[in-house]
A and B are shown apart, each in its own frame.
Chain A
């Protein structure tokens, strides 16, 4: 199985901050990474697919980058509604998809 390791597991930030979340794959996975946002008690929501493509309707302050084993989700100016947990997912090893353990973004 391909392991996805996210760091940090949590971070504290303020409204207006730029934050970067990291996801590392246990082997090269090209650009087969998605990012999801999950708020408490809610289902995940896709933000980024194929490492850097913004899902329709997602604010442009979210961006993704990376290829191979190292990937980053960036939020350019943190908004109050962005405080949530973020998961990366690899879709390289189809269909045994795996997720990272999540990064919680707190105030």
Chain B
């Protein structure tokens, strides 16, 4: 079955960076784009960006441009999210989610499988 397993919780100081991993299994890794979505405590969902595991191309939400980097490692079927210059407002649960579309070219934003989430706390 499709599984996305994320790395564990992190505690960071303001100004630091964090790198969260998302390991995929149960399907062909390069056939589905991966999105990252974050959720601040008690808040809604915020789309951060998308990576194509096939070629590594990325698109980031404008809000995070310059602070976010998404990468992938096809040898381990893992995608990574790195967020830099952390501030207290970045405290959130970060989710990776698979795009439903079975294509190395197209994606439609329908998120059919999600990781369990990674809590990143930013505090001095």
Question: Main secondary structure on chain A at its contact with chain B?
Answer: loop
Residues of A within 8 A of B (CB): 34, 36, 43-46, 49-50, 55, 87, 89, 91, 94-102
**B116 in contact (CB, < 8 A):** yes
- A100-B44 contact in complex given A34-B109, A46-B111, C-beta closer than 8 Å: yes
Q: Is the CB–CB distance between A89 and B45 below 8 Å?
A: yes
Q: What are 23 residue pairs bridging A and B, where the CB atoms are less than 8 Å apart in the complex? A: A34-B109, A36-B111, A43-B95, A43-B114, A43-B115, A43-B117, A44-B45, A45-B114, A46-B111, A49-B110, A87-B44, A89-B45, A89-B109, A91-B108, A91-B110, A94-B107, A94-B109, A95-B50, A96-B61, A98-B47, A99-B44, A99-B46, A101-B44
Interfacial chain B residues near A55, Cβ < 8 Å: 112
Q: Is the CB–CB distance between A91 and B109 below 8 Å?
A: yes
- A95-B107 contact in complex given A43-B95, A43-B117, A45-B114, C-beta closer than 8 Å: yes
Q: How many A-B residue pairs have CB under 8 A?
A: 57
Q: Please measure, in the bound complex, the distance between the C-alpha atom of A27 and the C-alpha atom of B97, giving whole angstroms.
A: 26
Interfacial chain A residues near B107, Cβ < 8 Å: 94-95
**B100 in contact (CB, < 8 A):** yes
Interfacial chain A residues near B62, Cβ < 8 Å: 96
- A102-B111 contact in complex given A95-B50, A96-B62, C-beta closer than 8 Å: no
Q: Whole-angstrom distance from the CB of B60 to the nearest CB of chain A? A: 9
Can you add 10 more A-B contacts, CB < 8 Å, to A34-B110, A43-B117, A89-B45?
A34-B109, A44-B111, A46-B111, A46-B112, A89-B111, A95-B49, A95-B59, A96-B61, A97-B109, A99-B44
